[in-house]
Structure 1
Amino acid sequence: MSDEQSAPVCYRHRNRETYLRCVRCDKPICADCRIDAPVGFQCPGCVAEGRKSMRKTRSAFGGRASTAFGGSSAGAAGTVTKVLIGLNVAMFILTLAVGGTAAITSSTQLHYALAEASVFQYGQGVFHTFANVELFGTMYSLPGVSTGGEYRMVTAMFLHFGAVHLLFNMVVLWILGRVLEKDLGSLRFLAVYLVSGLVGSVAVYVFTNPITLTAGASGAVYGLFGVLILVNRRLGRESSGIYVLLGINLVLTVVMGFSLAGHVGGLVGGLLCGAVLAFTPASQRKVLHWVGFAVILAMMVVLTMWRTDTLLTQFGVA
């Protein structure tokens, strides 16, 4: 048979005969290379070129929506939600690995007298180093929040007091996180999660006994409630179920003696972030969303500095 009469071969796989052709460039493509298009098939090269020139579809809050030809953005896939759950689970496993079964407790909040050295036996150093706690003096070697341990306000968000505590927070994070990440996009979702959690940590620092040991993703999770309420309002979606779930959780917070300051603080942080997202004009959201988050962070810095000065003066450390 002559070359003119032989079947064409895929331009990417020279050993595969094919009669399929790209509707854009007319190159022969095999079944593995073809990509379904609204009309006919396209080759990978033409699809890639088309995506470069295509205007990115954005959600109502500026997040990247699903991509063409059945693909999805990181936000639509819930990537950040999954990573956050993974980090929380990994830290819990680390706590168990270092502290053994003694690191599991049904308590969600532990109070210690200032002189009790046993505070650091819980988790064998993990909570010692990363939980949100204020301790004065040098008897424990590591600083409290007011003496250089401000990092505790962030790291405490990834520690949990037991398997039930972890499970409850991760289930709610999975339910709310995927919805919000799809609405907001991955970066904005991560920002509101961390900012809400930080507001909860600052609330604990400002409004609770300085010898209170707190930890957990609850502040950030409650922040997601606040954000979702305002996002739903902005999008005209029903929120009655969210209000019921939030009310039940707040009642449990009071009845079970959980960290009310941390939970309510996280909720307030979420409402603040939600207000930034919902009420910023669409034409200015690319900049003003991040400016709004920065303003909330600046407020938390001021509150932290004020509380630190108050505590150091009160205990005669200054």
Structure 2
Amino acid sequence: MPPGGYGSQSAPATDLPVCYRHPGREAHIRCNRCNRRICPECMVPASVGFQCPECVRGGNEQVRQARTPFGAVLRPRVVPVVTYSLIALNFVMFGLQHLAGTTLIVVPGGGAAEVQTLDWRLELIAKFWGNGESIGVANGEWYRLFTSMFLHASVVHIASNMISLFFIGPLLETLLGRLRFTLVYVIGGLAGAVTSYWFMTPLSPPSLGASGAISAVFGALVVIGLRRKILDPGMIMVVLIINIVIPLQNTSIDWRDHVGGAVAGAAIGAVYAFAPELIRALGRGTAPREQQTRLLNLLGFGTMALVLALSVAATAVHTASLNDPANRTRSLDGAAHTPTLTRVVTDTPESYPQASGTYPHWG
């Protein structure tokens, strides 16, 4: 007689294998990396067998992300977020320029000038005495070097700049990555504004526009593109003529802003174009890729910091010159001071011999 008598049944087994993540589920498959048992829900197909979710996550973290030669992460579908954001920001600022209305300012010597309120507060002005106040970069308003990059004088002005940015921005953003691209745009734009400011006097018309920043993007892209053979030289010449040669022929365009931005962008671009080969030539090519990228970033960001430092120094030097009492006296002698900000509202236009046709410079 069997134990327990006739008709008795065997007790259910209690040692069935279970999933390490779901103890109540039966599991007969093991993860081929950690050898733990996994249920069907936890099985992730691998090249051989299955892996558990934790091993899959750990493996992904150890996989080195593909990068461009300049350190930017390669993404399956690259969306130029920074480029589109800059375009949107410029259009928003253009709308605010017109919504903010106008301000009537008193010009030394009599009469007044009507200016857009936002322009009066944010555009690049060297030194101006009006409404009983002194404004401009030389009066400590250094922020104008930055804010003037997001102002435009007309629909044609902003349209031409944003179309240029739309075509050249995405490629450089993909090559350098979002952070580096943003720094090229901002620091290059500041360098262009400082170059314009360096040549300004209290008689100079104000300057505004994104051309310095866009020229910096173009300058960096040209150097990198030619070095890597990813740009058509013919296309480069066309854009160069539009951004450099034509502005030199048009007195209403601030060509100094263009040139300053292009030179700064080209200098930064040269580091990223030639540094990888230089690193390998110096024997660093045998170092891990991460170390090479860090060294490249050190050189690139160092060059950006140098451009920024030179811009600050140039601004300080020219500010001191404009604030020299002798220069201030000469600028206000007789009819020397001219209301060049915008159209003049006055009953005695002969007091302003240079006012006719003088408008803000397009940058």
TM range (shorter): 0.7 to 0.9
SS at match of 2:100: helix
The 5-angstrom pairing of residues 259-274 of structure 1 reads 259-274=254-269
Residue of 122, 147, 152 corresponding to 2:139: 147
The equivalent of 1:91 in structure 2 is 93
Shift of 1:156: 0.5
Residue of 214, 237, 256 corresponding to 1:221: 214
Instruction: Tell me, yes or no, if the aligned pair for 1:114 and 1:135 is still in contact at 8 Å.
Output: no
The equivalent of 2:248 in structure 1 is 254
Tell me which moved more, 244-253 or 285-294: 244-253
Instruction: Tell me, yes or no, if the aligned pair for 1:180 and 1:189 is still in contact at 8 Å.
Output: yes
Cα distance in 1 for residues equivalent to 2:56 and 2:222? 38
Larger radius of gyration: 2
CA offset digits 1:89-126 (Å, max 9, x no partner): 11111112212xx89xxxxxxxx97766425x32xx21
Residue of 192, 205, 230 corresponding to 2:184: 192
Instruction: Tell me, yes or no, if the aligned pair for 2:126 and 2:200 is still in contact at 8 Å.
Output: no
Cα distance in 2 for residues equivalent to 1:43 and 1:312? 71
Shift of 1:24: 8.3
Shift of 1:208: 3.4
Cα distance in 2 for residues equivalent to 1:97 and 1:249? 29
Q: Which runs of 5+ in 2 are unaligned?
A: 1-20, 23-30, 280-291, 331-363
Cα distance in 2 for residues equivalent to 1:181 and 1:253? 26
Instruction: Tell me, yes or no, if the aligned pair for 2:152 and 2:209 is still in contact at 8 Å.
Output: yes
- Two-structure CA RMSD over aligned residues (Å): 3.6
Letter in 2 for 1:172: S
Change (3 A) 1:43 1:227: farther
The 5-angstrom pairing of residues 235-254 of structure 1 reads 235-240=228-233, 241-254=235-248
The 5-angstrom pairing of residues 1-318 of structure 1 reads 28=40, 48-66=57-75, 70=76, 72=77, 76-99=78-101, 117-118=112-113, 121-122=115-116, 125-137=117-129, 139=131, 141=133, 143-210=135-202, 211-240=204-233, 241-256=235-250, 257-280=252-275, 281-282=278-279, 283=292, 284-313=295-324, 314-315=327-328
The equivalent of 1:4 in structure 2 is none
- Aligned residues between the structures: 282
Cα distance in 2 for residues equivalent to 1:147 and 1:37? 66
Q: Which runs of 5+ in 1 are unaligned?
A: 1-10, 13-21, 104-111
CA offset digits 1:126-160 (Å, max 9, x no partner): 11111111224463646310111110000100111
Change (3 A) 1:29 1:294: same
Letter in 1 for 2:82: V
Shift of 1:214: 0.9
Cα distance in 1 for residues equivalent to 2:194 and 2:255? 13
Instruction: Tell me, yes or no, if the aligned pair for 1:276 and 1:293 is still in contact at 8 Å.
Output: no
Cα distance in 2 for residues equivalent to 1:217 and 1:38? 52
Identity, % of aligned pairs? Answer: 35
Cα distance in 2 for residues equivalent to 1:194 and 1:251? 23
Instruction: Tell me, yes or no, if the aligned pair for 2:128 and 2:134 is still in contact at 8 Å.
Output: no
CA offset digits 1:228-276 (Å, max 9, x no partner): 1111123122341112221133233133331111111111111111123
CA offset digits 1:11-52 (Å, max 9, x no partner): 99xxxxxxxxx998965459xxx9x98899999876644432
Cα distance in 2 for residues equivalent to 1:237 and 1:253? 27
Cα distance in 2 for residues equivalent to 1:258 and 1:60? 36
Change (3 A) 1:165 1:46: farther
CA offset digits 1:154-187 (Å, max 9, x no partner): 0100111112211111111111110000000111
Tell me which moved more, 278-287 or 57-66: 278-287
Change (3 A) 1:143 1:209: closer
TM-score, length basis structure 1: 0.76
Change (3 A) 1:45 1:84: farther
The equivalent of 1:109 in structure 2 is none
SS at match of 1:118: strand
Shift of 1:295: 0.7
